[in-house]
Structure 1
Amino acid sequence: MEDPYIFLENINSTKALDFINAKNRFFREKFGAISDKLLPRILQLYNIPTAVQLKCSRNGLYILARTVDRFTVYRVWGSDKNIVLDSKSLGDNVIIQWINPSPSGDLIAFAYSSGSDAAITKIIDVESGEEVDELKGVVSNINWIDRYRYYYVRFYKDGRTPDGVEAPAERVLLRETSGCEEVVFGSMLPSKHMISLEESKISNRVFTTVTYGWIRSWIYAGLLEDPSTWRLVYNPGEALAYPIDYVDGRYFVTVYDGNGLGRVVATREDGYIEEIIGEDPRYPLQEAVVYLDKIVATYLVNASSKLRLYKLSGEFIKEITFDKPGTVSQLQNCIDCCTFIYTSFDVPYKVYMIKKEDLIEVDGVSAINVCSEEHYIESFDKTPIHVFHVYNCRRRSNKAVLIGYGGFGISLTPRYLDYMLLLIDDGGEYFIANIRGGGEHGRKWHKAGRREKRENVYGDFLSVIKWLKSQGYRVVIHGRSNGGLLCGVIYVRYPDLIDGAVIGYPLLDMLRYHKLYIGSLWIPEYGDPDKPSDRDYLSRISPYHNLREDARYPKCLIYTGLSDDRVHPGHALKFSAKLDEHGVENYLRVETASGHIGADPMISGKEKADILAFIYYVLQLDEKLK
């Protein structure tokens, strides 16, 4: 059947822009007054910085942080903390996506954009600020050979690669700061295969990992200065594997075979493989690094991080835990120490260092105190679903936001959600459901929510909603990206069970998603609409195709950004138009300067204020703001 709203996929057309402008005006007329009262309080929370990225070098730690109106790069060296760069110097509405200092720390590479994946990448001299090189497009994984040469990974989102393979695809290039470059790895790799590049911290090796569809990967390695030596060193078959480092003639690797919970193995140059750390019977291994004569590994225990230290032989040394549920990320070997970022529901960030076996706080901040609980809810097939519950320590309420994702093996762990602190302060609570499709319980948990098994994802989320309703809660469901698809499915199928939905940067047309932007990359996760067997179940889960004229849908907010070059804004626009056709009260918010990876802090703050304004309206928390 012909799609009457396909014109909204042409987001630069006059007709689509008129639709967007009218929708944005309608939203502001309804929620502008409430949002304007919430925004100053959100920006006040933005005065508390959050750490986006941590990188180490020989002349200190580099921290990319978001502050009230900008992104800032700091260098921490001993007790000194100096600003190296801030986004305001790069232009208006700019976000710094990532940073990567050279091993010596005298150069730093960084990428910036207005929210799109496509960015400008620059390399500057840290002391003088002089620009050394510039790249454009989707660039990542800069690995330094010396001051004048480096490798990087380029993502081709359309067209063809230099070797003629149809996008989407990635290639590794060797580049000189003079501008000369050549492809040195990945030629003739098929479309939809992604590449990551990582140099050893303690040897002259470099690792390239080829991944297909979040379900399998294999590792190449060789000498940093000679790409001709890069060869396959580990192929786990139908499983994921990631490099750790090269030590004493052995490549240390994490592999997710067996039960998919993760183990550490070492493979020698002659191909002999030895298990170093066996698979934990219950908890998934998240990442591991070699530090001095130890392995430092993070595990997820009930969706919260725990650290374990082992000898290189695999002998257990000790476990490091934290006072409250939290998330360890960006674990890395900094030669004489191991560093990482820790965050929690009320901890924007802390940077920790492991020296020998001691844990030392290097930098960090805390916010207002909140309380949290953990529950296990029985799903439709008796599978226990872990749920975080975050609330005001002084009082409880019956007004809840339920957050979910359920895909790509991504785990929803304790994170600092600044705008949710306002909700809690004003009488709301929020819950996070660790449903199938994520990685909270390993690769089997992910596989149980892929493709035709996605019904498990929706069944799990539905079970948590039913439990909340049985406890007397009003419920707004909230999800972004794949989580937007999750909320779209629940909204369309079970309108009587929820009080409202917030659907962000979503996939909603599951019969055309693979034709929009880089959507074909996600075929291994969702299925291929061009195959009849896959199209059959995709048509059943596609929210856009399952809206019913006879249903009484609750209020919903759909939001997206025109700079999103990952999930096409047309998903959100078309869904809103079809809701209009059915006479459903819905609100569409389209940001003109944000994308899938985020926005400038001020723009992000306004988006969050608008999201909260809608949630307050549905949960009847807005009375005190009038």
Structure 2
Amino acid sequence: MRPAASLIAIAMTLATPAFAQTYPATEKGPVVEDAFGQKVVDPYRWLENDVRTDARVKAWVDAEVATTNAYLETLPGRAAIAARLKQLWNYERVGVPAKRGANYFYTRNSGLQNQSPLYVRTGIGGAERLLIDPNLWAKDGATALAEWVPADDGGKLAYAVQDGGTDWRTVKFLDTATAQPIGEELKWVKFSALSWAHDGSGLYYSRFDEPASGQQFQATNENQKIFFHKLGTPQSADPLIYATPDRPKLGHGAQVTDDGKWLVIITHEGTDPRNEVTLLDLTKPGAKPVTIIKGIENNWSLVGNQGSKFWFVTDRDAPRQRIVMLDAAKPAVAPVTVVAEDKATLEDAGVVGDKLVASYLVDAKTEVRLFGFDGKPAGTVPLPGIGTAGGFGGKIGDPETFFSFTSFNVPTAIYRFDVKTGKATPFATPKVAFDPAAYEVKQQFYASKDGTRIPIFIVHKTGLDLKGGVPTVLYGYGGFNISVTPAFSPSALGWIDMGGVYAVANIRGGGEYGMAWHDGGRLARKQNVFDDFIAAGEYLIAQGITTKGKLAISGRSNGGLLVGAVTNQRPDLFAVALPGVGVMDMLRFDRFTAGRYWVDDYGYPSKEADWKVLRAYSPYHNVKSGVSYPAIMVTTADTDDRVVPGHSFKYAAAIQAADIGDKPHLIRIETRAGHGSGKPTDKQIAEWADLWAFTAKFTGLKVPEGM
């Protein structure tokens, strides 16, 4: 066992201008376990320990940070890339407004603020007034404003504070008129909706029991419960509204209907969009919750209600989803179809004015359709182009709604939609330091290994000469029913500005084509995700867009798993691999924090059939010594309690110990940051400058002078 001081000393000797192809020494432990008749060696199990409480892990992290930083300092163009990214990030970003009473609430970032402040205006043309500036909360900018919800009359606000990137939230309250705190807070809130009682007297929220000391960033999250907090009382007095102690793995979220008469409780077991629905009649004191949709077999997303009649988006008997009406007064009666399933994928729906507003995906691009309450078509919402739209919040009787629109070369703009006239007008459109017309966005399709037709977006500078192949970054996700749609990213545009190509493959596992697309890339079919991504790389090469020596791959979270898995399966295909905050140990992912939720997509490591599938692609367990690998830059953060950093620590140790060629295989570890949300702007710019400088070096992209 090496003492901590020795590890740090090794790191100091490695901090030389040239990378010496030597990594900090990582102790190998004796862990060998028998699983279903197979021996599983896990020499880096000790790196799962929390860096805050384990001195050995802290010393290892310090040594890796020193090694990586020393190498990054040798990369050409890094400062120029950071400067250009700073320019691209420096534009006004406004969030979708929420209207309550006469007040309009929205976030607005002037450009380079680490966190986005929250503003309010009374009336659509009223003067803007600052309510909350989270940039004042921490010197390093790493404490963020997370969820926020105004009361129905707009007079009070509940908001959540996120510190250092953790998923844990502290909920606070303020008076809208004075912007002064009300003076109470709610602790141990995570994965929670925040929903006000109709009269503004208090808030429904979800929380977990307080974790054992020192376990808040690693312990599994079980027994989530719904409480009601009445303003003016301590959290300890909050009455329990709903819990399932006999089924501790279930999670629960609560939403009060717009009329204030019902509490709708959505119960799920994992991340899959399948849930139970329970109603609590708030008009009857002492009423008990009644489950009207039993069994976690289909998606039931609340659209809205009229009295006891509820509209839901569901995939029951409709893989691409439909809108149905269910009468709570007649729960035995089958739901009635209001808007039938379409060839396009129905993603979401809401109620605004006298319309149902339904958002569809058509080949991974947004189309918004309007329907009457009877389901009759009533037109569409005009969008400014091909891209992604979101928002459309509102309720029955509202004359307006707001939505965002973005694409690869179009920063997010906010529009106001008039329900009566059917017209959309700009509410906030950013001024940017580039010309959107200077970039070409195209969508193509390619065949995967089994012949499945997969969409891919390809973005580059207009007129870019592709002869001979261009350094290209291929991005993918492929999981959890999450659709990857066109969206503006300053980091991606930074790569494109350097002269590279940026490609996004809409591989299976996502929700682009409904539940069948999702199911085609999970559990025993997870290999389809990797085959789709590998086929995307082969397609880009076959089209002459890039070459093997110029192709980089990138993905985060489940996408980090994707990058790790395909790098093991086809190390010859890629020049650079950038697995970010990835799930790398597929045999132990369910033992930490939110990992237990992911069994919907990955399966259960405790079940033999699932274990065999997981063992076959787990990035940590399938590193191939004796094979030349691409350059690898692993990224993670010390406060990531979604995908704990132990995943990336163990994977980095494994690739550094293996005989996989002479390219660098490094890990970049951020401090005071988590899985991604709430990450300060300056930390984002610094990270992407490092990643693009690294990628440029090993794809042969020369950073333009004066960039």
Q: Which interval holds the TM-score relative to the shorter structure?
A: over 0.9
The structural deviation recorded for 1:39 is 2.1
Pick the structure with greater CA Rg.
2
Could you list the per-position Cα deviations for residues 523-562 of structure 1 after superposition, in whole angstroms to 9, with x for gaps in the alignment?
Answer: 1210111111111111001011111111110101100001
The answer to whether the 8 A contact 1:158-1:168 is kept is: no
Cα distance change on mapping 1:434 and 1:155 into 2, 3 Å: farther
Structure 2: where are the runs of 5+ without partners?
Answer: 1-31, 33-40, 214-219
Amino acid in the other structure paired with 2:317: G
Distance 1:54 1:211 in 2: 29
Distance 1:158 1:451 in 2: 30
Distance 2:680 2:534 in 1: 34
**Mapping for residues 255-404 of structure 1, pairs under 5 Å:** 255-268=314-327, 269-271=329-331, 272=333, 273-280=335-342, 282-333=343-394, 335-355=398-418, 356=420, 357-365=422-430, 367=432, 368=434, 369=436, 370-397=439-466, 398-404=470-476
Q: 1:612 aligns with which of 692, 695, 699?
A: 692
Matched, 1:430 2:483: no
Distance 2:336 2:200 in 1: 37
Matched, 1:168 2:213: no
**Mapping for residues 146-225 of structure 1, pairs under 5 Å:** 146-155=199-208, 167-177=221-231, 178-179=233-234, 180-188=237-245, 190-202=247-259, 204-213=261-270, 214-224=272-282
Cα distance change on mapping 1:622 and 1:54 into 2, 3 Å: farther
Distance 2:351 2:704 in 1: 53
Residue 451 of structure 2 aligns to a residue whose secondary structure is: coil
The answer to whether the 8 A contact 1:55-1:99 is kept is: no
Distance 1:143 1:89 in 2: 26
Q: 2:193 aligns with which of 118, 141, 157?
A: 141
Distance 2:164 2:295 in 1: 38
The answer to whether the 8 A contact 1:291-1:333 is kept is: yes
The answer to whether the 8 A contact 1:259-1:444 is kept is: no
How many correspondences in the alignment? 621
Structure 1: where are the runs of 5+ without partners?
Answer: 161-165
The structural deviation recorded for 1:51 is 4.3
The answer to whether the 8 A contact 1:405-1:435 is kept is: yes
Q: 1:602 aligns with which of 682, 689, 695?
A: 682
The answer to whether the 8 A contact 1:343-1:350 is kept is: yes
The answer to whether the 8 A contact 2:166-2:675 is kept is: yes
Matched, 1:567 2:643: yes
Matched, 1:119 2:176: no
Q: 2:60 aligns with which of 19, 38, 44?
A: 19
The structural deviation recorded for 1:344 is 1.7
Distance 2:474 2:340 in 1: 35
Amino acid in the other structure paired with 2:204: Y
Q: 2:86 aligns with which of 22, 43, 54?
A: 43
Cα distance change on mapping 1:155 and 1:620 into 2, 3 Å: farther
Could you list the per-position Cα deviations for residues 305-348 of structure 1 after superposition, in whole angstroms to 9, with x for gaps in the alignment?
Answer: 11100111000011234343221223311533222222221233
Distance 2:703 2:376 in 1: 59
**Mapping for residues 470-485 of structure 1, pairs under 5 Å:** 470-472=542-544, 473=546, 474-485=550-561
The structural deviation recorded for 1:45 is 2.2
Cα distance change on mapping 1:542 and 1:104 into 2, 3 Å: same
User: What's the TM-score once normalised by structure 1's chain length?
Assistant: 0.94
Amino acid in the other structure paired with 2:144: I
Aligned to 1:163: none
Distance 2:209 2:551 in 1: 41
The structural deviation recorded for 1:155 is 4.0
Distance 2:369 2:444 in 1: 25
Segment of structure 1 superposing worse, 229-238 or 129-138: 229-238
Matched, 1:62 2:105: yes
Could you list the per-position Cα deviations for residues 78-112 of structure 1 after superposition, in whole angstroms to 9, with x for gaps in the alignment?
Answer: 23333221112222322222211111222112222
Distance 1:590 1:35 in 2: 18
Residue 368 of structure 2 aligns to a residue whose secondary structure is: strand
Distance 1:412 1:453 in 2: 19
The answer to whether the 8 A contact 2:456-2:503 is kept is: yes
The answer to whether the 8 A contact 1:500-1:555 is kept is: yes
Distance 2:602 2:618 in 1: 11
Distance 2:291 2:645 in 1: 39
Cα distance change on mapping 1:242 and 1:462 into 2, 3 Å: same
Amino acid in the other structure paired with 1:303: A
The answer to whether the 8 A contact 2:166-2:640 is kept is: yes
Cα distance change on mapping 1:287 and 1:196 into 2, 3 Å: same
Matched, 1:548 2:653: no
Residue 446 of structure 1 aligns to a residue whose secondary structure is: helix
Residue 595 of structure 1 aligns to a residue whose secondary structure is: coil
Distance 1:267 1:491 in 2: 48
Amino acid in the other structure paired with 1:547: V
The answer to whether the 8 A contact 2:193-2:205 is kept is: yes
Q: Percent identity?
A: 26
